[in-house]
Amino acid sequence: MSSDQIKREIDAQWLELSEQLRAEIGEAAFQSWIKPISVRDQDGGTVKMTVPTRFMRDWVAAHYVDRLTDLWSQCDAGISAVEINVQTDRHVQATPERADDGNTFGSARRIGDMDKDLQAKRDDISAPLDSRFMFERFVVGKPNEFAYAAARRVAEAEVVPFNPLFLYGGVGLGKTHLMHAIAWHIRQVTPQRNVMYLSAEKFMYQFVRALREQNTVDFKQQFRSVDVLMIDDVQFISGKDSTQEEFFHTFNALVDQGRQIVISADKSPSDLEGMEERLISRLNCGLVADIHATTYELRLGILQSKAEQMGVEVPPKVLEFLAHKITSNVRELEGGLNRVVAHSQLIGRDISLETTQEVLHDLLRANDRRVTIEEIQKRVSQHFNIRVSDMHSARRARSVARPRQVAMYLAKQLTSRSLPEIGRKFGGRDHTTVMHAVKKVDELREHDSSFAEDVELLRRMLEG
């Protein structure tokens, strides 16, 4: 067959196959996502398809690639994979009839050449979205219900409900997940709206590049023509004055035009250090929603949902154990579960509490490390009714020396600090003093059961 013939053959197959998809997924989804696809080529067992934008590529790859692969291999048993790429300019020119087709972009509005250029650049700037980060996969609990509700509201609203939406919380608690979820949702329901998602770091990088290339007009235009702008981890531009300045202007321009802005950060606007006052006050203007540290219930819920998504049977005891032990953040929680599952699949054994402890011993230790020496000193002082300052003082009276030894002992047991580090935290004492304290407390515990109980009680309180 000549290459022309092959191309004609593929085109015919595509026509048939896309009709079948139209019947399966309905007209609206078909118009948005399948119609814009062009089939370029077949290379061995791989069919190469293109879509006009990066966002569409992500979406099609996340939602339709499996079905597309199935359908292609039903047409032609030699086909085993589908590759989705973003159409380059060359391709656009090669098929001018597509440029006149308003539906090419899954959009009701016609996109002129200028817009298309802008669109391409915007897609270039916007970061790809993680296909797992959708609302459906976000487990809602007390610590995040407000942030979740606010994010959903922004995603579903027809007019901007509050501007900006400012999401903040510690690392790994779901800020990025919620932002991507907003973007996915808007793209799905109203694909003609331009959503741009990027990190503050990338924003700065783009801005600096524009400055260097003396191309700030383009830069401004790209950002000021979006419908929804999402900037993740805005704390990154703290102390970066000219980037902040530019961001401030972009921000104002978009708000004035009634476009939605969504921002995330690790702290509340007022707590962001190195931010200009006027920017802080702008950030405070809309809705500020924080994501709190996870609770045991939320962690358990997340684990159950992840295990279900992975399609693996994990004993409830193991999930409870993980939810109890990995308290730092959801990312680590997920990582822990993944490791346990991977391990069991690799060695072909069921997941048990024992193997879990074995596989995760480093992670579990790192989470234990969360008890700080300061907390230990505070608790122990309270318990023995002495001043915290006595932990650091040179006083040797037994009434303060003994509690100090207990605190050193607990610091050794409950943290991963070395003896010299512990010594330093106790008024700059030598590591041999700490060693001696540990030995002494061990001895006393053996011979004095009420002392042993005291220490045990303190240990349990500190481990929470």
Q: Which residues bind ligand ADP (CB under 6 A)?
A: 133, 137-139, 144, 169, 171-177, 302, 330-331, 334
Q: Which two tokens stand for residue 53?
A: 């934008």
**What span, in angstroms and rounded, lies between the C-alpha atoms of 358 and 439?**
28
Q: Which does 189 bind (CB under 5 to 8 A by kind): Mg ion, ligand ADP, none?
A: none
Q: Which is nearer to ligand ADP, 36 or 174 (CB)?
A: 174
Min separation Cβ 269 and ligand ADP, Å: 16
Q: Which does 196 bind (CB under 5 to 8 A by kind): Mg ion, ligand ADP, none?
A: none
Q: Which two tokens stand for residue 254?
A: 């978009």
- Range list of β-strands (E), 244-345: 260-265, 287-291
Provide the Cα torsion 267, 230, 180, 108; round to 10°: 160
- Output 57-61 pairs: Cβ under 8 A, ≥24 positions apart: 57/84, 57/85, 57/86, 58/128, 58/129, 58/131, 59/33, 59/184, 59/187, 59/188, 60/33, 60/84, 61/131
Is 176 among the residues that bind Mg ion (CB under 5 A)?
yes
Name the residue with the smallest CB distance to Mg ion: 176
Q: Which does 115 bind (CB under 5 to 8 A by kind): ligand ADP, Mg ion, none?
A: none
Q: Which is nearer to ligand ADP, 138 or 426 (CB)?
A: 138
Min separation Cβ 195 and ligand ADP, Å: 17
Q: Are strands 165-169 and 287-291 parallel, antiparallel or unpaired?
A: parallel
Size of site (CB under 5 A) for Mg ion: 2
The number of residues in the chain equals 464
Min separation Cβ 273 and ligand ADP, Å: 19
Q: Which does 330 bind (CB under 5 to 8 A by kind): Mg ion, ligand ADP, none?
A: ligand ADP
**Alpha carbon 154 to its chain's center:** 18
Task: Provide φ and ψ at 429, rounded to 5°.
Answer: -80, 160
Min separation Cβ 337 and ligand ADP, Å: 11
Q: Which does 104 bind (CB under 5 to 8 A by kind): ligand ADP, Mg ion, none?
A: none
| Range 421-460, binding Mg ion (CB under 5 A) | none
Min separation Cβ 428 and ligand ADP, Å: 37
Min separation Cβ 304 and ligand ADP, Å: 11
Q: Which does 133 bind (CB under 5 to 8 A by kind): Mg ion, ligand ADP, none?
A: ligand ADP
Which residues have a Cβ under 8 Å from the Cβ of 120 and sit 6 or more positions away?
Answer: 53, 89
Min separation Cβ 358 and ligand ADP, Å: 24
- Range list of β-strands (E), 301-352: none
Residues that bind Mg ion (CB under 5 A): 175-176
